[in-house]
Structure 1
């Protein structure tokens, strides 16, 4: 599985948010990763290891180098 995520990517997580949406936008990358629910706008911060473990895949990539 491709775990090469970038700032601005829309990713699918293992569990969906209580609002019913399973898509999250990556808004900060560092030792921690901050993601924002694309449905209700709730922001969650996870450790990088927890994020990489729970991320199922990239729905929409924000790559400009391709």
Structure 2
């Protein structure tokens, strides 16, 4: 799987959130990745290594435009 993530991407994780949603929006990238649940708007920080293992698929990719 491609390991390129961008701000605003919507990803599906292997485990769902307790609220019932499993779609997450990436709102911060770095050594830790901050994601927001698309169902209940809860924000969670996950280490990048765990995040990359737990991503099932990218639902919507927000590729930045090149100038």
Q: TM-score range by the shorter chain?
A: over 0.9
User: Normalised by the size of structure 1, how large is the TM-score?
Assistant: 0.92
User: Normalised by the size of structure 2, how large is the TM-score?
Assistant: 0.91
Shift of residue 3, structure 1, vs aligned partner: 2.0
Root-mean-square deviation (Å): 1.2
Structure 2, gaps ≥5 residues long: none
d(CA) in 1 for partners of 2:64 and 2:6? 10
Shift of residue 64, structure 1, vs aligned partner: 3.3
Shift of residue 65, structure 1, vs aligned partner: 2.8
SS at match of 1:40: coil
Structure 1, gaps ≥5 residues long: none
8 Å CA contact 1:13–1:55 kept in 2: the answer is yes
Name the count of aligned residue pairs: 66
Shift of residue 52, structure 1, vs aligned partner: 0.4
Structure 1 match to 2:5: 5
8 Å CA contact 1:3–1:57 kept in 2: the answer is no
